[in-house]
Every structure is written in C-alpha cells, then in structure tokens.
Amino acid sequence: MGTAFDAKIDQAEVTDLGEFAKTRKIRYFMVSFTDLFGAQRAKLVPAQVISDMQKDGAGFAGFATWLDLTPAHPDMLAVPDASSVIQLPWRPEVAWLASDCIMEGKSVGQAPRNTLKRLVAEAAEQGIRVKTGVEPEFFLVTPDGKQISDGYDTAEKSCYDQQAVMRRFDVIAEICDAMLELGWKPYQNDHEDANGQFEMNWEYDDVLATADKHSFFKFMVRSIAEKHGLRATFMPKPFKGLTGSGCHAHISVWDLSGKSNAFADKSKELGLSDQGRHFLGGIMKHASALAAICNPTVNSYKRINAPRTVSGATWAPNTVTWTGNNRTHMVRVPGPGRFELRLPDGAANPYLMQAVIIAAGLSGIRTKADPGPRSDVDMYREGHTVTHGAKLPLNLLDALRAYDEDSELKAAMGEEFSAAFIKMKTTEWNAYASHFTQWERDNTLDI
C-alpha cells in the first residue's frame, strides 16, 4: 500500500488516547458503535478533544439509530474503548474506536457490544475464554448494486478462479495489505463460489477482539471498494441463482490463560472434549432461535433455504445437523479442539453473532446438553434420509418466533436486549410483509 507508518499497535498498552494521537499524528477519531441491525454509527471527533470523549463519551440520539429508544430518551453516550483503537491504513490521520453505550450512567442493555461484553464476563466467571475466527464473504458490485462489477466473471464454477481474483487484485490486495499492516495475520484470500464473490481470512482471537475486527473489516472493505469505484455488499443473497454470502464462525474454548484448549481431547470422537461436546449441544439445542441472530434479515432466508445454485451447491445449511469434516451440515468438526458454525451469513451483527454463540454454548455446558447423533451424509443429496434434524426456520418471522419461545436463550442474551431485538425486527418483518412487490403484480394481477 505504500503507507509511511507502522499500523501495528499494542492495543493493550493504549490507555491515553490524547497521547496516542500525538505519537501517531492522528487528526481525527471515529467514535463508533454498532446498533441492533448491525449498522455502524460514528462521530468524527478532533484529536484535540478525544481525552474528553474518552472520559465522558460522544453524545448520540439513540432513536436516530436502530435501537428501541424514543426521541424523549436522554443522550446516549458512546464511550470509546481505547484498547480497540485502529489507525486507518488507507487514511492514517484517522483512527477508529469501538465504543460502549451508556445512558444516565448505566450500560445500555440492548447495545450489541455491551451484550457481548456481559457474556464474555459470564464465561470468565466459569473459567471459560472463548476464541473465534470468522470467514466473511462479500460481493464486489456496481455502484447501483444491481450487478457484479466484473463482466468477465461468468464461469459456472467460479470458486478459486485465479483470473477473476487477479482482475480484482487492486481491491483485494489493498484490503489484505491493510490487515497485514494492522497485525491481524491474514492468511488467505480467494474468489468464492458465486460470480463476483470473495472471502478473506485472518487469525482467530478472543471473541470481543474478533467482533471489533469484524466490525472494522466491514467498514474497511466498503471504504476501499468505494475508493476503487466499486461497492462491497455483505447482503446474504444479492443475486438469484448464485451462492449467498456466509460468515462461518470457528469456535474454541480455552482456560483463562488462553493456553490450554478445553475443547481438545484426542481420546474423544473427532478430538472434541466432553465440554466441547456440551457446548456444541447448546448450539444444536438453540439452533432455531440462533437463526434470528445469525440470519437477521428477510433476505437471509433466501440463502439458507435456497434451491441449488449455478455452481451446483448452496454451501449453506437448512437443517440442524452436525458432522465431521463435511461442509453440507450446519456444524462441522474439521479437526480436534474446534468446530465451525456454518449458519451465520454476511448480515449477522458482528457482536450479536459472537454473543449468541457464547449464550448457547454456556447453556449447553450448564445443562450438559447432548448434540445428538452425528451425521456424515451429503445433506444436499441425501438430506431427506436424515430424520433426527429439525429444519431451520423458513423465514425471518419463524426465526423471531423461535427466539421468542426460547426463554432460556432470551434470558441469557438479556431481557432488555431480547425485548428490543424482537420488537424492532418484528417491525421490520411487518414492513416487508406489507410491501407491494412486483411478484404479486406478475402473478396475481389477472386472478
């Protein structure tokens, strides 16, 4: 990228943002938070006043974002977390900060990052440290979002297409260079299964760090794509007939030192310890409710319930099953000490996705949940032979109802959060259901 600064930061040592600004020649900070719908909100704060913001927070009208608040509510203050600071590799005079939302001196229970931090603390009380890695997929499309940006990207089997990835080298390389400079340890980038689709991977980390990086990654990808005259979308299913964008999560649990993997036991099936199996049992037990968080949009269900795509496979689950190293199931155990949840999609809120994984997993450990029988069939060809797995929700409304009926998971996620999420998402569903579509005109005009 040719930047003239060292983007790597020992974030644990950053405590005084004012001094950080002077040392790093920062002119502005983006004090950012993520709302219930996953939208990123920020204020651009001059470096000269960042010390005040670090103490008191930047003021927001919560109602102006997707939170269950009204215009009558007092200011919501976004208090930046200095340990999350990231200097923008493509604009180094600006630094980004994840923030915790406070109102009248109290944590805003429905705020996604607050929800995740509370669950991280609950896990720590049980001697558990959850680490995750994510695999975000996205499309590079034209500015109007109506078609993929590369007119030559038309192959039926486009996954790993080296010509296609090289035609978008400038964008992909700039994003990867940024991650290298930030010390994220990215390790591979590829053209994905759909035309115009890409995936970029970096090293796993503690869940809060992964969520902060994931949030920043989405901002960075969009920003760099726009710089090159393109548009990046994490929409789960932007094009009919093409594979949708997932955001698979690789999950492991460690002791509090982070050195001993509590999920690893070579003497057990697939190298997954009893504790790991119970954690997986919690995921399986709460899977239908998890869909409301991991697949949070109307469009999400066009990915997990899609017919066969142009490439021959959707690469998305539609049934609550688990397996070994087999990508046709909702959960796969690719190796000892970890498993991959393939349910989440590109629209998943970076903080809520991690929070609900912990909530379901802790539930499983607490109740010693059994994940049920393992299945190794090809779900895309032989799924009809599997009788023990429930079907995932068919639409957002079904998922919201499943979440609302799951009192244990709702309580684990927090009653304030759960009530706000269900209310806001049900309103979104109702808006969708009342929308008059072209399909209705095409199919019922003459009835």
What is the band of 5 on the pLDDT scale with cuts at 50, 70, 90? Answer: low
CATH architecture of 118-432: 2-Layer Sandwich (3.30)
What is the band of 295 on the pLDDT scale with cuts at 50, 70, 90? Answer: very high
Give the model confidence (pLDDT) of 326-352 as tens digits.
999 999 999 999 999 999 999 999 999
Q: Residue 1: its pLDDT value, please?
A: 47
- Judge whether 148 and 196 are in contact, CB under 8 Å: yes
The type of residue at 437 is T
Give the model confidence (pLDDT) of 236-291 as tens digits.
999 999 999 999 999 999 999 999 999 999 999 999 999 999 999 999 999 999 99
Q: How far does CA 325 lie from the centroid of its chain?
A: 22
Q: Would the pLDDT of 12 be above 90?
A: no
The reply to whether domains 11-108 and 118-432 share a CATH topology is no
3-class DSSP assignment, residue 187: strand
- Domain residues of the chain, as ranges? 11-108, 118-432
Strands (E) across 15-149 are located at 28-34, 40-46, 58-60, 76-80, 86-87, 94-103, 106-107, 129-141
Give the model confidence (pLDDT) of 122-177 as tens digits.
999 999 999 999 999 999 999 999 999 999 999 999 999 999 999 999 999 999 99
φ, ψ for residue 341, nearest 5 deg: -95, 115
Q: Which superfamily does 11-108 belong to?
A: Glutamine synthetase, N-terminal domain (3.10.20.70)
Q: Residue 9: its pLDDT value, please?
A: 77
Q: Residue 11: its pLDDT value, please?
A: 75
Q: Which of 442, 286, 315, 427 is nearest to 378 (CA)?
A: 315
Q: Would the pLDDT of 52 be above 80?
A: yes
Give the model confidence (pLDDT) of 70-107 as tens digits.
999 999 999 999 999 999 999 999 999 999 999 999 99
- In this structure, of 6-15, 289-298, 405-414, the range with the lowest mean pLDDT score is 6-15
Q: What is the mean pLDDT of the chain?
A: 96
